[in-house]
């Protein structure tokens, strides 16, 4: 969706605050939101693409002004509601009013490190061979889905060159809608900054974007 999260090339946000660079969490509640989000994600009630969509699917003005972990909290609340793990009243007052959803897979303390160190690969067995190879010229589709996608607006309708074939990866556009992983070939695509932003940009500046095959055409 074309929303406030798709920030590449937007103007007017001002200088970058480079102070307090070593601090992960500025306030105590931020670390709890971080941990709650990871722990609830581990219950398997949603996938990473659904959680990204929950965070970006809000008023653009809100997205660009809320703090990072305020956005995470809003996202988590939406996911809990959608998965029927909590009711709106429960989230509002913090008390349990409805019985817990049965058979929720709880992340136990003694499993945390295993879970983090194992990670989860997003590469899948391909169902078809890759359509493009290194060095091929491609054009990105001019597409504007109202649902989750990972092709930024600035990269749509542009000509680039395949730099690397990453493999066949879970396709966020499908996975975010609960339509399955629908694995697609993923490519690293090279663009000149001039192709994306115009001729005033330095001739030797480049932009690399990871894009799935359904975003591309010849």
Partner 1 sequence: MPKHSHDHRHHGEGSELSEMELRVRALESLLTEKGYVDPEALDTLIDTYENKIGPRNGAAVVAKAWSEPDYKKWLLEDGSSAIHSLGFTGRQGEHMIVVENTPETHNIVVCTLCSCYPWPVLGLPPTWYKSPQYRSRVMIDPRSVLKDFGVELPKNTGVAVHDSTAETRYLVLPMRPEGTEDWSAEKLAGLVTRNSMIGTDILSIPGGNT
The residues in 63-102 that bind partner 1, with binding defined as CB under 8 A, are 64, 68, 70, 73, 76-77, 80, 85-86, 90-91, 93-96, 100-101
Q: Which of 47, 58, 81, 107 binds partner 1 (CB under 8 A)?
A: 107
Nearer to partner 1, 86 or 138 (CB): 86
Q: Which of 50, 78, 158, 169 binds partner 1 (CB under 8 A)?
A: 169
Terminal-residue alpha carbon distance, the chain: 24
Task: For residue 29, state whether it binds partner 1 (rule: CB under 8 A).
Answer: yes
Residue reference for tokens 């590449």? 8
**Within positions 139 to 168, which residues make up the interface with partner 1, using CB under 8 A?**
150-152, 154-155, 164, 166
**Least Å from the CB of residue 185 to partner 1:** 11
Residues near 206 by beta carbon (within 8 Å), at least 6 away in sequence: 190, 191, 192, 193
User: d(Cα 79, Cα 51) in Å, to the nearest integer?
Assistant: 7
Task: For residue 177, state whether it binds partner 1 (rule: CB under 8 A).
Answer: no
Q: Which of 8, 44, 126, 145 binds partner 1 (CB under 8 A)?
A: 8
Tell me if 173 sits within 8 A of 150, measured CB to CB.
yes
Task: For residue 56, state whether it binds partner 1 (rule: CB under 8 A).
Answer: yes
How many residues touch partner 1 (CB under 8 A)?
94
Nearer to partner 1, 136 or 210 (CB): 210
The dihedral through the CA atoms of 2, 134, 203, 14 has a sign that is positive
**Least Å from the CB of residue 206 to partner 1:** 4
**Least Å from the CB of residue 35 to partner 1:** 4
What DSSP character marks residue 88? H
The dihedral through the CA atoms of 124, 126, 130, 133 has a sign that is positive
Residue reference for tokens 């090279």? 190
Task: For residue 173, state whether it binds partner 1 (rule: CB under 8 A).
Answer: no
Closest CA to 213 of 187, 175, 191: 187
């Amino acid at each position: 969706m074309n929303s406030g999260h798709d920030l590449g090339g937007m103007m007017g946000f001002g200088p970058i605050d480079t102070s307090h660079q070593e601090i992960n969490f500025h306030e105590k509640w931020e670390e709890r939101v971080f941990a709650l989000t990871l722990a609830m994600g581990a219950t398997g009630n949603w996938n990473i693409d659904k959680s990204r969509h929950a965070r970006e699917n809000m008023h653009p003005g809100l997205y660009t002004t809320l703090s990072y972990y305020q956005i995470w909290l809003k996202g988590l609340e939406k996911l809990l509601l959608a998965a029927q793990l909590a009711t709106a009243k429960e989230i509002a007052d913090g008390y349990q009013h409805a019985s817990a959803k049965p058979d929720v897979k709880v992340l136990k303390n003694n499993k945390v490190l295993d879970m983090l160190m194992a990670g989860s690969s997003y590469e899948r067995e391909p169902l078809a061979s890759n359509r493009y190879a290194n060095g091929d010229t491609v054009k990105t589709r001019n597409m504007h889905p109202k649902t989750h996608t990972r092709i930024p607006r600035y990269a749509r309708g542009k000509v680039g060159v395949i730099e690397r074939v990453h493999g066949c990866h879970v396709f966020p556009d499908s996975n975010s809608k609960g339509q399955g992983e629908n694995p697609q070939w993923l490519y690293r695509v090279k663009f000149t900054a001039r192709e994306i932003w115009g001729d005033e940009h330095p001739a030797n500046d480049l932009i690399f974007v990871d894009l799935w095959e359904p975003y591309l055409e010849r």
